[in-house]
């Protein structure tokens, strides 16, 4: 059975992601910040996918958590959901930089997510692939 870790301090975004995976009968855990996300991952690295916000305890805490998970040797799918992706020009840069920095496969912009729509935008690592679930 597939399992996802959602790391986001915003209930609205986290709940929309949880509902998306619930519809697909995919189990999910939710951490409320990067520190708790790292704790969940450290206790159970059986997640097929990790989705994280960037800005939680600090402006970049989610990004550093994702890098630490990537550097630990994690082989699952890495996803960042961020309002930063809603800014023109950020996604093309992020597609390359975040693939290298934290092994990022997919980006989810938050403007559509705020309405409950999960849009999967591939990074350099996932280019040409369909959405992961």
pLDDT tens for 24-42 read 999 999 999 999 999 999 9
- For the chain, the average pLDDT equals 92
Tell me if 82 is assigned to some domain. yes
Residue 130 maps to a domain:
no
Greater confidence (10 vs 128) lies with 10
pLDDT recorded at residue 118:
94
- Residue 64 confidence (pLDDT): 95
Sign of the C-alpha dihedral computed for residues 6, 11, 17 and 21 taken in this order = positive
C-alpha distances in Å from residue 25, one per residue of 13, 22, 75, 97, 111:
19, 5, 22, 32, 25
Q: Residue 108: pLDDT band by 50, 70, 90 thresholds?
A: very high
7 within domain boundaries: yes
CA atoms within 13 A on the CB side of 71: 8
State which residues form the domain around 62. Answer: 3-122
> pLDDT-based confidence at 130, cuts 50/70/90?
confident
Q: What is the CATH number of the domain that holds 102?
A: 3.40.50.2300
Total domain count, the chain: 1
Whether residue 132 is contained in a domain is answered as no
Section 51-65 average pLDDT = 92
Does the pLDDT of residue 89 top 90, yes or no? no
Work out the pLDDT band at 83, boundaries 50, 70, 90: confident
Q: Is residue 131 part of a domain?
A: no
């Amino acid at each position: 059975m597939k399992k996802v870790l959602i790391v986001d301090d915003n209930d609205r975004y986290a709940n929309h992601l949880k509902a998306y995976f619930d519809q697909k009968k995919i189990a999910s855990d939710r951490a409320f910040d990067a520190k708790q996300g790292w704790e969940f991952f450290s206790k159970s690295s059986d997640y097929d996918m990790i989705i994280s916000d960037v800005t939680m305890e600090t402006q970049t805490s989610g990004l550093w958590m994702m890098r630490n998970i990537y550097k630990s040797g994690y082989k699952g799918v890495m996803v960042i959901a961020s309002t930063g992706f809603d800014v023109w020009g950020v996604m093309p840069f992020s597609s390359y930089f975040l693939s290298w920095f934290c092994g990022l496969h997919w980006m989810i912009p938050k403007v559509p997510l705020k309405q409950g729509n999960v849009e999967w935008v591939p990074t350099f690592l996932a280019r040409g692939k369909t959405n992961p679930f």
